[in-house]
Structure formats: structure tokens, C-alpha cells
Amino acid sequence: MSYARAVHGYSYRIVSMTKGFVASVNVDSLSAFWGGLQVLAGDVQNAIKSHLFYWNLWRKYHAIPELFDTSSHVAVVKGYPLRPEFIETTFFLYQVTKDPFYLDVGAQVLHDLQERIRTPCGLATISDVIENTLDDRMESFVLSETLKYLYLLFDEFNPLASTDSNIVFTTEGHILTLNNTHLRPMSKTRRLSRKYENLTCPIYDAYPDRSAIKKPSLRHGIRNRPDYDYARTLVGLPTSGDASTDDLEWSTPYGTCEVPSYDTFSYDVLLSRQGQKVEEDQDISSLSKKLKPWKGGVLVNEVMGLRVQMRNRFDGKGYDITKIGHLNVRQGEKKILQ
């Protein structure tokens, strides 16, 4: 995720599976599922930010286009076949936060579906979210997923909406119940790692790491996050009314357009013997003399001019060295300085 996650943390890019570089600045509507998966993994704060990105896309188009260019802020593929991923994430976030904001999101989605695509015999596919042209087509996932998650969002006492149950949804929204026959003995590797695991989800905090910001005593929730409206700028959603007036309001202590802070995921460091400034050594023959693969790791004979790449560990416990000079280093491999 350190390659795919944008630096602001609100969206995830398409990257090369082998090189890690950004392959496209487009995001697709299917990726809206990611926030729901983050909820299931216990990463609620990042799930909220992922959802805010797609919520602002919905605010802009009253639908989510199949492909959106995050650089030019325009829809590339303008169709919307009523995909369920955004509604699914909204459902999961409401289950974990119980913030009425997500009910408002669902109400807006329901309103837009009824106003734009409802027909006497079903729901039509939007072929162009800008021109509002419709296709005589309704995908099967509209009933099995989109409308199901939308219904469960508002039916809070439905057993399928309980977080304390043995029910899981497949990727197509089908309901599966799990019993003891599906339990497997814990593997030896899992037993050894148990002491390092923390299986308790973090407590939801409406104001994470914002101690310097004055908190209104009677106002809580997503809309009062200081970075709530930041995602609007990422999709090019225009301000309402006079832009200068809006910008002035954003700068108040209770403003909603604070640029979010984020942890640096990776570092590049040039090594030298005594901390002096040096040029990077990019000559392969020279690098081959300074370091080489050695017994499940890397043996370094000389540090001058070596570039070291480090990446933040997903468990938050420091950094892993991923590359030294021209050699890639896998997690767990030894780095030996001679």
C-alpha cells in the first residue's frame, strides 16, 4: 500500500505490480470497496478518508463514473451501472461508527437513484453521468448488492446488520453462515505470531490527532472533522456560492478544509562515512564491489555513495530497508556491514 496510497491518504492509485511505480492517475468505481475492507481490517480512520473521496465524487456527479482522472478532475468513462461498492463501504462505516452522517449519505444516494434512474419496471443504467442518458439495462448486482446494502444501512435491527454474528457477505453480496465445522486448527506459524498480534480494533475517534483544534462541545462526527472538505478539492468539486466567501469560512477555527497530516511512508538516504555530502554511486561495477548478496542477505563492504531506501512497516514498528544500492532487499533478510 505504500506504493498505491496517495500521499494525502484519501485515494489509492494504480501501480505496477513488479516495479511499484504509478501506472495511471485514474481511479475506478470498483475501488470504492476499499474503505469497507479497511473497516473489516480495523483501519477505521483510513476507511473514513477513502470513503470521503468517493462521497465527493458522488456529490459532484450524483453517481460515481466508471473511471475518474484525479489529475484533470474529469470523468474518463462516464457510465454508472449502479455499482454497489460505495454503498457497501457506507454500510460498513455506519456499523462501526454509528455516525448519522452515513445515513445522510445513504439518503442522498437513494434520492438520486429514485430521481435519475427509476423506471416503471426497475432501475436503468446511466450511460453518461453528465448528460444523464440512460441504457435499457439493469445488472444483477443491483438487487443482490446495491439495494441490499442500501436497505441494511437503514434497517439497524436486522440480524444481517449485526456486527456480532456468524454471517459474512461474499464479494457478490450473497449471505453465508459459518459454523464450527469451518474452523481450522491454528497453524504453528500462527501460534508463534499470536503474542505479536493485537486483534482488538482501535476505538473510533471523531477527532484523531487534532489536540490543537478547539472541539465544539455538542458537535461530533464526520462533518466536524477539520479535514472533512479536503477531499472535495481532490475531485475538483466546485465551491458553492461565492468562492472567496467559502474560502474565508474555511479558515475559521471550526473550518473544514484543513490539509490533513500524514506519516511519511518511505525514505531515501545517501550513506557516507562521516556524514559529509556525497554524490550517489550509480556505477554498477563500482556498486558490485561495495555490496553483494550474501547468505540470505546483503553484505556491505563500503557505504560511501550508497542509496538506501526504507519503507514504513505496516505494523507501525519502525522501517524496513527495501533496497541498498542496486540490490533489492526482502523483508527479514540480513544486512551485514563489514
Task: Find, among 121, 172, 124, the residue nearest to 149 by Cα.
Answer: 172
Task: Find, among 69, 10, 7, the residue nearest to 38 by Cα.
Answer: 10
- What is the spatial distance between Cα 143 and Cα 326, in angstroms, rounded to a whole number? 52
Indicate which residues carry an active-site annotation: 66
Task: Find, among 59, 58, 33, the residue nearest to 240 by Cα.
Answer: 59
Most confident segment among 95-99, 106-110, 170-174, 227-231: 106-110
E-strand spans in 72-184? 74-77, 118-119, 122-123, 125-128, 133-135, 167-169, 175-177
Is 298 or 263 the better-scoring residue by pLDDT? 298
Q: Report phi then psi at 255, rounded to 5.
A: -60, 160
Q: Grid coordinates standing for 235?
A: 475531485
Residues 6 or more apart whose CB falls under 8 angstroms from that of 171 comprise none
CA distance to 268, 287, 308, 322, 323, per residue, from 329 (Å): 14, 15, 10, 5, 5
Residues 6 or more apart whose CB falls under 8 angstroms from that of 180 comprise none
Query: Is the model's pLDDT at 211 over the cut of 70?
Result: no
Query: Is the model's pLDDT at 49 over the cut of 60?
Result: yes
Predicted pLDDT at 255: 45
The residue with cell 442518458 is 133
Supply the pTM of this predicted model: 0.68
Most confident segment among 100-109, 245-254, 320-329: 100-109
